[in-house]
Amino acid sequence: MPNGAPTKITQGSWTKGGIGESTLRPDGTLKVTGEFAYSSDMWHEDMLWGQILRSTVAHAEIVSIDTSEALATPGVYAVMTYDDLPTEVRTYGLEIQDTPVLAHGKVRHHGEPVAIVAADHPETARRAAAKIKVEYRELPVITDEASATAPDAILIHENRTDHHCGHVPHPNIVHRQPIVRGDVAEARRRADVIVEGEYHFGMQDQAFLGPESGLAVPAEDGGVDLYVATQWLHADLRQIAPVLGLPEDKVRMTLAGVGGAFGGREDLSMQIHACLLALRTGKPVKIVYNRFESFFGHVHRHPAKLYYEHGATKDGKLTHVKCRIVLDGGAYASSSPAVVGNASSLGVGPYVVDDVDIEAIALYTNNPPCGAMRGFGAVQACFAYEAQMDKTAEKLGMDPVEFRRLNAMSQGAVMPTGQVVDSPAPVAELLRRVKARPMPPERQWESSEGADVRQLPGGLSNTTHGEGVVRGVGYAVGIKNVGFSEGFDDYSTAKVRMEVVAGEAVATVHTAMAEVGQGGITVHAQIARTELGIGRVTIHPADTQVGSAGSTSASRQTYVTGGAVRHACELVREQVLEIGRRRFGSYHPAWATAELLLEGGKVVTDGGEVLADLVDVLGDEVVEIEREWRHRPTEPFDLRTGQGNGHVQYSFAAHRAVVEVDTELGLVKVVELACAQDVGKALNPLSVVGQIQGGTTQGLGIAVMEEIVVDPRTAKVRNPSFTDYLIPTILDTPTIPVDVLELADDHAPYGLRGIGEAPTLSSTPAVLAAIRNATGLELNRTPVRPEHLTGMA
Partner 1 sequence: MDFLRPATWEEALAAKAEHPTAVPIAGGTDVMVEINFDHRRPEYLMDLNRIGELHEWETEDDSVRLGASVPYSKIMERLRTELPGLALASHTVASPQIRNRGGVGGNLGTASPAGDAHPALLAAGAEVEVASVRGTRLIPIDDFYTGVKRNALAPDELIRAVRVKKADGPQQYAKVGTRNAMVIAVCAFGLALHPETRTVRTGIGSAAPTPVRARAAEEFLNAALEEGGFWDNGRIITPSLARQFAELCAAACNPIDDVRGTATYRRHAVGVLARRTLTWTWESYRGSARTSKGAA
The footprint of partner 1 (CB under 8 A) covers 126, 292, 454, 457-465, 467-468, 664-667, 669, 704-705, 709, 718-719, 723-724, 726, 728-732, 785-787, 790, 792-793
Cα–chain-centroid distance for residue 82?
31
Taking the complex as a whole, how short is the minimal distance between the CB of residue 54 and partner 1, in angstroms? 14
CA distance 543 to 515: 11
Taking the complex as a whole, how short is the minimal distance between the CB of residue 463 and partner 1, in angstroms? 5
Taking the complex as a whole, how short is the minimal distance between the CB of residue 129 and partner 1, in angstroms? 12
- From residue 676, alpha-carbon distances to 340, 427, 673 in Å are 27, 10, 10
CA distance 155 to 788: 35
* Encoded amino acid at 701, one letter: G
Q: Pairing mode, if any, of strands 285-288 and 48-54?
A: parallel
Report whether 406 contacts 317 (CB < 8 A).
Answer: yes
CA distance 732 to 772: 18
Taking the complex as a whole, how short is the minimal distance between the CB of residue 45 and partner 1, in angstroms? 27
Taking the complex as a whole, how short is the minimal distance between the CB of residue 7 and partner 1, in angstroms? 31
Taking the complex as a whole, how short is the minimal distance between the CB of residue 461 and partner 1, in angstroms? 4
* DSSP code, position 260: -
Taking the complex as a whole, how short is the minimal distance between the CB of residue 138 and partner 1, in angstroms? 22
Taking the complex as a whole, how short is the minimal distance between the CB of residue 288 and partner 1, in angstroms? 13
End-to-end CA distance of the chain: 54
Report whether 386 contacts 353 (CB < 8 A).
Answer: no
What is 495-514 written as a DSSP string?
EEEEEEETTEEEEEEE--B-
The CA dihedral of 760, 766, 772, 774, to the nearest 10 degrees, is -120
Closest CB to partner 1 among 339 and 708? 708
Closest CB to partner 1 among 463 and 605? 463
Taking the complex as a whole, how short is the minimal distance between the CB of residue 779 and partner 1, in angstroms? 15
Helix 271-281 crosses helix 233-244 at what angle (to 10 degrees)? 40
Nearest of 732, 722, 669 to residue 697 by alpha carbon: 732
Taking the complex as a whole, how short is the minimal distance between the CB of residue 720 and partner 1, in angstroms? 10
Quote the Cα angle for 300-302-305, to 5°.
Answer: 155
Quote the Cα angle for 651-656-660, to 5°.
Answer: 145
Taking the complex as a whole, how short is the minimal distance between the CB of residue 699 and partner 1, in angstroms? 16
Taking the complex as a whole, how short is the minimal distance between the CB of residue 705 and partner 1, in angstroms? 5
Report whether 647 contacts 485 (CB < 8 A).
Answer: yes
Taking the complex as a whole, how short is the minimal distance between the CB of residue 789 and partner 1, in angstroms? 10
Residues with Cβ within 8 Å of 122's Cβ and at least 6 positions away in sequence, in order, are: 49, 51, 288
The CA dihedral of 633, 637, 641, 644, to the nearest 10 degrees, is 10
Q: Pairing mode, if any, of strands 355-363 and 318-328?
A: parallel
CA distance 768 to 784: 8
Closest CB to partner 1 among 82 and 722? 722
Taking the complex as a whole, how short is the minimal distance between the CB of residue 102 and partner 1, in angstroms? 23
Report whether 477 contacts 764 (CB < 8 A).
Answer: no
- From residue 522, alpha-carbon distances to 507, 624, 685 in Å are 14, 21, 12
Instruction: Kindly give the residue spans of alpha helices, DSSP state H, lying in 547-603.
Output: 557-584, 590-593
Taking the complex as a whole, how short is the minimal distance between the CB of residue 211 and partner 1, in angstroms? 14
* Half-sphere exposure for 264 (CA within 13 Å, toward CB): 25
Cα–chain-centroid distance for residue 263?
4
State the SS3 of 592-611.
Answer: HHCCEEEECCEEEECCCCEE
Taking the complex as a whole, how short is the minimal distance between the CB of residue 56 and partner 1, in angstroms? 14
CA distance 326 to 147: 13
CA distance 60 to 57: 7
Residues with Cβ within 8 Å of 750's Cβ and at least 6 positions away in sequence, in order, are: 19, 566, 680, 681, 683, 744
For the chain, what's the residue count? 793
Closest CB to partner 1 among 133 and 190? 133
Residues with Cβ within 8 Å of 142's Cβ and at least 6 positions away in sequence, in order, are: 59, 148, 153, 154, 156, 172, 364, 365, 366, 715
Taking the complex as a whole, how short is the minimal distance between the CB of residue 290 and partner 1, in angstroms? 8
Closest CB to partner 1 among 48 and 710? 710
Closest CB to partner 1 among 60 and 665? 665
Nearest of 336, 283, 16 to residue 162 by alpha carbon: 336
Report whether 634 contacts 485 (CB < 8 A).
Answer: yes
Closest CB to partner 1 among 502 and 792? 792
Taking the complex as a whole, how short is the minimal distance between the CB of residue 440 and partner 1, in angstroms? 16
Closest CB to partner 1 among 444 and 790? 790
